[in-house]
Chain A
Amino acid sequence: GQQLNQSPQSMFIQEGEDVSMNCTSSSIFNTWLWYKQDPGEGPVLLIALYKAGELTSNGRLTAQFGITRKDSFLNISASIPSDVGIYFCAGHKAGGTSYGKLTFGQGTILTVHP
Chain B
Amino acid sequence: DTEVTQTPKHLVMGMTNKKSLKCEQHMGHRAMYWYKQKAKKPPELMFVYSYEKLSINESVPSRFSPECPNSSLLNLHLHALQPEDSALYLCASSPWPMLRNYEQYFGPGTRLTVT
Contact = CB atoms under 8 A, between A and B. Distances in A.
A1 to B, nearest CB: 7
B1 to A, nearest CB: 14
A48 B103 contact: yes
A44 B106 contact: yes
Contact of A107 (B31, B40, B94): B40
A44 B4 CA distance: 11
* Chain B CB within 10 A, most for which of A45, A48, A100: A100
Contact of B102 (A40, A100, A105): A100
Interface string A98-110: 1111101111010
Interface in A1-21: 1, 3
Contacts of B107: 42
A33 to B, nearest CB: 6
Nearest to B45: A101
A45 B102 CA distance: 12
Nearest to B111: A40
22 contacts: A3-B42, A31-B103, A33-B103, A41-B108, A41-B109, A42-B4, A42-B106, A42-B107, A43-B106, A45-B2, A45-B103, A45-B106, A86-B40, A88-B42, A92-B102, A100-B48, A100-B50, A100-B94, A100-B97, A102-B45, A102-B102, A105-B42
Top 8 nearest A-B pairs by Cβ distance?
Answer: A104-B42, A42-B106, A92-B102, A100-B96, A99-B55, A31-B102, A42-B109, A42-B108
